[in-house]
Amino acid sequence: MRNAKKKVTKKVTSKNNTIKKKTAKKVTKKVSTKKAVNSKPGIDTAFVDDLAFQEINLVKKTTKKLATDLELKRAALRARRIHWNNDKKQIAIDMLERYTGHDFGDFQQQIILTNFHYYIERFNILLDDSHYTEGSAFKAASSKKAKVTIIEFGVGAAMAALIGELISVVQPKAVLFLGMAGAVHPSLKVGDFVLPIASIRAEGVTEHFLPKQVPALPTFKVQKFVSQILVEHGYDYRTGTIHSTDYRFWEFDERFKEKLIEERVLAVEMETAALFVSCFVSKVNIGALLLISDCPMTKDGIKTKKSAKSVFRNYTDRHIELGIEAMADIADRGENVRHYHW
């Protein structure tokens, strides 16, 4: 029995030794193979590390160059603004005084822009301290009590873009355009108010300020103040997109009218897009409150001398009064209108 146990133990021990030897051989073989791979001729690890280092440096240099190029681009854009270009600023101040007849110190921090002289006449009646002047191109009036200036700048996108840049030297807190528009949407009627949230840039002036794909937008908080005033007085209004064009007598162009319908715009006029874009680029906070003056999508709805008199007699007083109240309200509240810097 003892001999049998010894034989079994011997066999097991012998088997275990054999397994250990085989395992050791396999491990040795793997290590040898790994060493052989690592020691293959033609792979210079120092050279590979140097290539990686060069690639990292190249990426860093490229990134730094791109950042520098972007900063130079921003600097070039800033240089086009009046605030960053002293020569342009001095000319703009001189031009603003010359065109309006106002001294630079007369301009208030809240500015109303309009196309119509009647609005300035009404401004002078409503505000007893109004200081009125006529320049070589524009007319202006200012009230220190209300802290509001009104400027009549003419008609069209070119004049709108010009006044947008010129008033930036005043660094106004808020600007409001009180203009008129022709109804495109059939639900609008003469005397309605439109508070535009955007304007289609269908004129040629704004291409000098921003790429075509950038929308013409107002400053939200200015529009918010105006909408609050309208609601407080119980006036209904419409918000939406309008179309700004430099095309006069479009009323007789059926293809143009079809385009307006396809665009789903509320109304059409000539200045709003240029004002929104030029003021945005010049860091001026601007909004617009438009009065529907005619319904030119139909022949009978086109504005005439007679219908224009009716509009001025029945609707423009409340238009200018709402504008003055909105701007005076912004002055009194003392809130920031723009919440970011760019």
DSSP code string of 174-220? EEEEEEEEEE-STT--TT-EEEEEEEEEESSGGGGTS-TTS-B---H
Give the distance from CA 285 to its chain's centroid: 10
Cα separation of 230 and 9, whole Å?
105
- Residue 256, judged by CB atoms within 10 A of its CB (0-12, 13-18, 19+), counts as middle
What's the confidence (pLDDT) of residue 286? 98
Asked whether the beta carbons of 100 and 106 are under 8 A apart, the reply is no
Cα separation of 288 and 276, whole Å?
9
Percent of the chain with pLDDT over 90: 70
Asked whether the beta carbons of 171 and 81 are under 8 A apart, the reply is no
pLDDT tens for 218-271 read: 999 999 999 999 999 999 999 999 999 999 999 999 999 999 999 999 999 999
CA dihedral sign, ordered 91, 94, 97, 103:
positive
What's the confidence (pLDDT) of residue 71? 72
pLDDT tens for 87-102 read: 899 999 999 999 999 9
pLDDT level of residue 202 (50, 70, 90 thresholds): very high
Asked whether the beta carbons of 171 and 215 are under 8 A apart, the reply is no
What's the confidence (pLDDT) of residue 342? 52
Pairing relationship of beta strands 174-183 and 193-202 according to DSSP bridges? unpaired
Lowest-confidence region among 3-17, 60-74, 143-157, 234-248: 3-17
Rounded to an integer, the average pLDDT of 111-119 is: 98
Cα separation of 299 and 151, whole Å?
33
Residue 12 has pLDDT above 70, yes or no: no
pTM across the whole model: 0.78
**Whole-angstrom Cα Rg for the chain:** 37
Asked whether the beta carbons of 226 and 319 are under 8 A apart, the reply is no
C-alpha to C-alpha distances, 119 to 166, 193, 288, 317, 319, nearest whole angstrom: 20, 16, 15, 8, 9
Residue 30 has pLDDT above 50, yes or no: no
What's the confidence (pLDDT) of residue 6? 45
Asked whether the beta carbons of 209 and 278 are under 8 A apart, the reply is yes
Strand-pairing partners, residue 111, are 149, 175
Residue 277 has pLDDT above 60, yes or no: yes
pLDDT level of residue 199 (50, 70, 90 thresholds): very high
pLDDT level of residue 119 (50, 70, 90 thresholds): very high
Give the distance from CA 137 to its chain's centroid: 28
pLDDT level of residue 313 (50, 70, 90 thresholds): very high
Asked whether the beta carbons of 157 and 167 are under 8 A apart, the reply is no
- Residue 291, judged by CB atoms within 10 A of its CB (0-12, 13-18, 19+), counts as buried
What's the confidence (pLDDT) of residue 332? 86
pLDDT level of residue 172 (50, 70, 90 thresholds): very high
Asked whether the beta carbons of 276 and 243 are under 8 A apart, the reply is no
Residue 10 has pLDDT above 70, yes or no: no
Q: Which residue in this structure is represented by tokens 């120092």?
A: 46
Lowest-confidence region among 4-18, 243-257, 271-285, 296-310: 4-18
Length in residues, the chain: 342
Closest CA to 216 of 188, 190, 259, 177: 177
